[in-house]
Chain A
Amino acid sequence: MTLTREAPPVVTKPPGPPKRRPRDGWANAIMVAPATVLYVVMLIVPVALALYLSLTDWDGFSANPAFVGAANYVDLLDDPELRRAALVTLLVAVAGTAGLNLLGLGFAVLVNGASRANTFFRIVLFYPHVLSALVVGFLWSAILGTNGAVNNLVTRWGGEVLPFLSDPTWATITMIAVLVWAGFGVNVVLYLAGLQAVPHSLVEAARIDGATRWQVFRNVTLPALGPSVTVNIVLSLVTLLKTYDLVVSLTAGGPAGQTQTVAYLILWNSFHDARLGFGSAQSVLLMLVTGALAFVVTKLRRRGELAVHQ
């Protein structure tokens, strides 16, 4: 046997993704597990629990709430308080969405374009969104109350005290107005982002063809804004359907419970009246309505957009 000394073949690894080491599987698990566990325990389990609790008479204290079947849902169908709250909520959501989007789109067009003044306008329109709805409500209730700043002016100029918050109809309108005042700055910013996406060449071309400002807006800008409009409307609806903090601070649901929203009623029933089972049933209903409405609006808008493009 002869020993031939051969040089060991030199193996060069081809450059490429390094082999996955078995440790990586463990590392992945360690990185994902804490977030997932907490998410399941405090968000997924509660959603399932909301469904279960809505079938019980839980009062918030007992460890073993009794199962009552669909009784809460039956109660809820002929609860006059809920019917009124649902009406108020729907009114707030629809009128508020109209207000938020008309002002949002209108002002976005007005403050579009980069200039120092426009930046200042945007900041001023946006700032109420930074404040908590609770503070906004207390502030406006101090300004619009019977002895508030506005009525001070009104009476000084010889008018009668205006019942901004003491008459049910006025109070509902006041609430919608304050929600719009506090929120439309966000819609302005969202619509501004949408306006950046409108092709400048289209606008130019329409201008050259002799279209007026309004015609350009109506026939070029608005159709191109389609997706923005959908996003804004859905967001406004979903947010307004959950109105709670502002009710607490602006009207406290009054006068005589006439401005209670569904969200307000849910928390009132649950924590003031200790009927958490009943409150759960209402919250499940609110979740379904919110989801369905968002879905329907998105569908309708999409159909509208398709019609525009054809």
Chain B
Amino acid sequence: MRKPFLWATVAFMLIPLYVLTVNAFKGQQDILENPFGFGGLTLEPLGTALTNPQFNVFKGYAITLLFVVAVNVLSVLLAAPAAYVIARSPKRRFRVLMLFFLAGTFIPGQVLVIPVVYVLKTLGLMGTIRGFVLFETVLTLPFSIFLYAGYIATIPAVLDQAAAVDGAGRLRTFWRIVFPLMKPAVATMVILNTFSVWNDFVNPQIILGPGSGLYTVTTGVYAAVSQYSTDYTVVFPTLLLAIAPLLVFFVFMQRHIISGLTAGATKG
């Protein structure tokens, strides 16, 4: 009873993916006549999607990847040292700072998107890559600092003291001794941030805007698909191209990704 039911569920979960993949290689007529069959497979729609003037997929990949890398690097550079001081210093003011950052995990992104436009305009960063990357980075900070501080607390402080006795300053102690030991926590955050930046739609759509000509994978898909939603030779290949890199990444790293994203889900 249990096994057949689970396999039926597997089918239900995977059929949309199957429909997407098989129809990405078919003409409109073949899709309409038999959306599940293999009739008339062709590479043409995929080729058209790759050269779509509305949305250059490779440029979309490149821009999104750039954002992903920039946000991850910046997030680690900012959050890790701050978390180190918070975790190691007995001073009251750093405990208060932790609570201050923690409060940020409760603020929904929807509340921020309007006033952030105001802030970015004031700073002259609206519609720029810098502005977008900075804002996305800030969104990662509260949870990163929370996670890193918790992890650093499990690393014996004797290590820091040994380094200090040997004459290393606080910065050197952190980056040379403690940071290399934080790999698991950093890996979790990198996975989390990678998916949230790659899949974000609202922020790039509003901060970068259609006028900037900077399309991420999601805003590009929106530009390419939303007006042509009945032309399946546009919809299916474009969607397949949008999710293919993520799915490959997921298949190879599924264990880490599932635990990373689940840790992220609990941040609320």
Q: List chain A positions with a Cβ less than 8 A from chain B.
A: 17-18, 23-24, 27-28, 30-32, 34-36, 38-39, 41-47, 49-50, 53, 58, 60, 107, 110-111, 117, 120-135, 138-143, 145, 147-149, 152-153, 181, 186, 189-190, 193, 231, 234-235, 238, 242, 244-245, 248-249, 252, 263, 266-267, 270-271, 276, 279-280, 283-284, 286-287, 290-291, 294
**B141 pairs with A53, CB closer than 8 A:** no
CA distance A35 to B86 in the complex (A): 12
B159 lies within 8 A of chain A by Cβ: no
Q: Is the CB of B101 within 8 A of A39?
A: yes
Contact B119 A49 (CB under 8 A): yes
* CB-based contact A124/B10 at 8 Å: yes
> A18's contact among B3, B10, B165, by CB below 8 Å, is which?
B165
Chain B residues positioned under 8 Å from A249 (CB to CB) = 222, 225-226
Q: Which of A18, A30, A44 has the most CB of B within 10 A?
A: A18
CB-nearest residue of chain A to B235: A142
Which residue of chain B is the closest to A279 with respect to CB atoms? Answer: B114
State in angstroms the CA–CA spacing of A42 and B119 once bound together: 7
| Contact between chains at B134 and A42 (CB < 8 Å) | yes
One of B112, B221, B266 near A43 (C-beta < 8 A): B112
- In whole Å, how far is A288's beta carbon from the nearest beta carbon of chain B? 10
B16 at the interface (CB under 8 A from A): yes
Least Cβ–Cβ distance between A292 and chain B, in angstroms: 12
CB distance from A171 to the nearest CB of B (A): 14
Given contacts A32-B82, A43-B138, A107-B9, contact A142 B119 (CB under 8 A): no
Q: Is the CB of B13 within 8 A of A148?
A: no
CB distance from A213 to the nearest CB of B (A): 11
Decide yes or no: A23 and B170 within 8 Å by CB, A43-B138, A279-B114 being known contacts.
Answer: yes
**1/0 per residue B127-166: CB within 8 Å of A?**
0000000110111011001000000000000000100110
A41 to B134, CA, bound (A): 10
- Inter-chain CA distance A184–B243, complex, in Å, is 19
Cβ-defined partner of B226 (8 Å) among A122, A181, A252 = A252
* Chain B positions within 8 Å of A45 at CB level: 115, 119
CB <8 Å contact, A245 and B201: yes
| A115–chain B nearest beta-carbon distance, Å | 11
